[in-house]
Amino acid sequence: MPLQLSPLPAERFEEWRSAARQRVIDGNRASGYRIGADAVDFADAFFAELLPDGLATPTVRILRIVDEHERELGTLWLAVGEHKLFLLELAVEEPLSDARNDDVLAQILAIASDRGVARISAPLFPHDAAGHALLEGRGFEVASIQMVLEPLPVREVPVHVDVVPMTAERFPRFVAASEKGFADDLVASGRYSPEEAAAESHRQLVAELPEGVETKGQALFTASVDGAEVGILWLGMRVRDGRPHAFVLDIEVDTAERRKGYGRALMHAAEREARRLGADSIGLHVFGFNTGAIDLYEQLGYRRTEESLLREL
């Protein structure tokens, strides 16, 4: 007899919420994505946003996973967005067998079909064994990865690329190219339609750079070799566990200048600039299809702190 997914009783919601909140905090801290008080603040904001009306929130389903003997094996947290079903958490006391994972996924797919969504998205920490066991090998692909490098290494490497602050004259061309490039990447990742991607890219760029190249907490650079521009670098300063943290918002090597080591040189420059700005860690986001960049970042010592998996339906 297959497993059954049944709604969580209302009287159990507060108990589940408290335990799930702690799992989110512990998961962030264990992965290094968010640490210290940041993990607590994120968890509280996360639950406030996704469960404003508790179990009555119409876009959310908290489901018990029950076996043929009416024994509860764990819980499943689903949320429905526009054209997408989010698998937010699978919490089980013991690992599920392959057959049971097949069964759980089949029922998730049935829910997705009933809701008319086009894809399923699932955020996973690297150490989430139950989540990986459920999704890997079952049609999901890595859509995006969050990575962090800490502490910042001191590298004795020759500097053969000149990286200097971007000028106000150069900024408009950067904005146009960066906005289009990010929108194209969002479409290629399978997460957005072209129209949605264009709007999201514009929204994020305006939010990050309201004062253009002079925006406080943003550092933009151009890179050149022998006087010829070869790429750009954009760092945004953040606060991580109360300490300055740099985030690579954009890095690009001109198409004609690739495979010459300039990407690695720009990443080295990012480390130097992050340290100059007072940071002792640096993070970035990379799309799953960009395997060359992922390989470079891992060679430089970046580690994965969270992945987003996606399955098209």
Specify the CATH number for the domain of residue 83. Answer: 3.40.630.30
Single-letter code of the amino acid located at 233: L
Q: Give tens-digit pLDDT for 208-265.
A: 999 999 999 999 999 999 999 999 999 999 999 999 999 999 999 999 999 999 999 9
Nearest to 223 by CA among 262, 259, 194, 191: 262
Whether 146 maps to a domain, the answer reads no
Diameter of the chain measured on Cα atoms: 73
| Residue 148 resides in a domain | no
Same-domain pairing of 115 and 172 = no
Which residues of the chain fall below pLDDT 70?
1
Displacement of CA 57 from its chain's centroid (Å): 24
| Model pLDDT, residue 159 | 87
Helix axes of 171-188 and 194-208: crossing angle, nearest 10 degrees: 140
Within a domain: 147: no
Residues 6+ apart with CB under 8 A from 189: 143, 144, 287, 288, 289, 310
198 and 305 fall within a common domain:
yes
Q: How many domains does the chain have?
A: 2
94 falls within a domain: yes
Best CA proximity match to 271, nearest among 159, 152, 158: 152
Radius of gyration (Cα) for the chain, nearest Å?
22
The pLDDT of residue 1: 62
Q: What is the per-residue pLDDT for 83? A: 84
pLDDT for 306 equals 98
The answer to whether position 63 is within a domain reads yes
**For residue 184, what are the domain limits?**
162-312
Question: What is the signed CA dihedral for 234, 229, 185, 283, rounded to 10 degrees?
Answer: -30
Q: State the pairing for strand pair 162-165/218-225.
A: antiparallel
The span from the CA of 8 to the CA of 14, in Å, is 11
**pLDDT tens profile 261-292:** 999 999 999 999 999 999 999 999 999 999 99
Residues 113, 245 share a domain: no
Give the per-residue pLDDT at 207. Answer: 95
Last residue of a domain, one of 96, 124, 139: 139
Res 279: pLDDT: 97
